[in-house]
């Protein structure tokens, strides 16, 4: 099927119940999924929340399961990612509640910043994102050439 594509940046308010509106364009991208919501987990590299659709997590789980299920690697990946990921269901208005552990990991308080990453998106504290974005941009410039070379590796059409 068509994979969801997440673009742009959105800053939405977190109400006192911990609810945030998932940006409407993201919800549109997610339309037609079996599960009406998103899956979120702490990023392994950033102080941010990584999020994607259910299908992607299933893929991930299958990938992990292809290891020896009784190995340490299996256990480590499953624990690091799957046990820390949360299924967040949309309410009638397209909101989700951000679980406490994720809120803490990302340092989110009043506002959550949604940043599209293509097949996934991230949720940041605005303050931290303001710092991170220029850094990432700079880094991207430096590695632009290298990136271009690997880009077509997984082309499948």
Partner DNA sequence: CATAATATACCATGGTATCCCATGCGATCC
Partner DNA sequence: GGATCGCATGGGATACCATGGTATATTATG
Q: Nearer to DNA by C-beta: 12 or 43?
A: 12
> Any residues with CB less than 8 A from the CB of 123 and at least 6 apart, and which?
20, 40, 48, 49, 51, 98, 102, 106, 108, 112, 113, 114, 115
From the list DNA, a second copy, none, partner contacted by residue 16 (C-beta under 5 to 8 A by kind)? DNA
> Any residues with CB less than 8 A from the CB of 134 and at least 6 apart, and which?
none
DSSP type of residue 23: P
Q: How many chain residues bind DNA (CB under 7 A)?
A: 19
Q: Nearer to DNA by C-beta: 31 or 45?
A: 31
Residues found near a second copy in the complex (CB under 8 A): 1, 5-9, 25, 39, 43-46, 57-87, 99, 101, 115-120, 122, 132-133, 136-137, 139-141, 143-144, 147, 150-157
CB of 19 to a second copy, least distance (A): 18
From the list a second copy, DNA, none, partner contacted by residue 71 (C-beta under 5 to 8 A by kind)? a second copy
d(CA 31, CA 4): 9
Q: Nearer to DNA by C-beta: 10 or 121?
A: 10
Contact 82, 64 (CB under 8 A): yes
Contact 13, 33 (CB under 8 A): no
Kindly identify the residues of this chain, within the stretch 57-116, that bind DNA according to CB under 7 A.
89, 91-95, 97
Range in contact with DNA (rule: CB under 7 A) among 10-18, 55-63, 72-80, 115-123? 10-18
d(CA 89, CA 38): 6
């Amino acid at each position: 099927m068509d994979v969801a594509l997440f673009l742009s940046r959105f800053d939405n308010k977190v109400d006192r119940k911990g609810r945030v509106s998932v940006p409407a364009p993201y919800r549109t991208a997610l339309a037609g999924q079996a599960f009406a919501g998103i899956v979120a987990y702490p990023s392994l590299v950033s102080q941010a929340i990584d999020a994607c659709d259910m299908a992607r997590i299933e893929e991930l789980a299958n990938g992990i399961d292809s290891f020896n299920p009784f190995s340490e690697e299996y256990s480590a990946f499953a624990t690091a990612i799957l046990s820390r990921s949360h299924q967040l269901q949309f309410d009638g208005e397209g909101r989700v509640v951000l679980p406490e552990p994720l809120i803490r990991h990302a340092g989110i308080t009043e506002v959550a910043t949604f940043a599209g990453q293509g097949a996934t998106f991230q949720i940041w504290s605005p303050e931290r994102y303001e710092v991170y974005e220029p850094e990432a941009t700079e880094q991207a410039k430096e590695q632009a050439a290298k990136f271009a070379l690997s880009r077509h590796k997984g082309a499948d059409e």
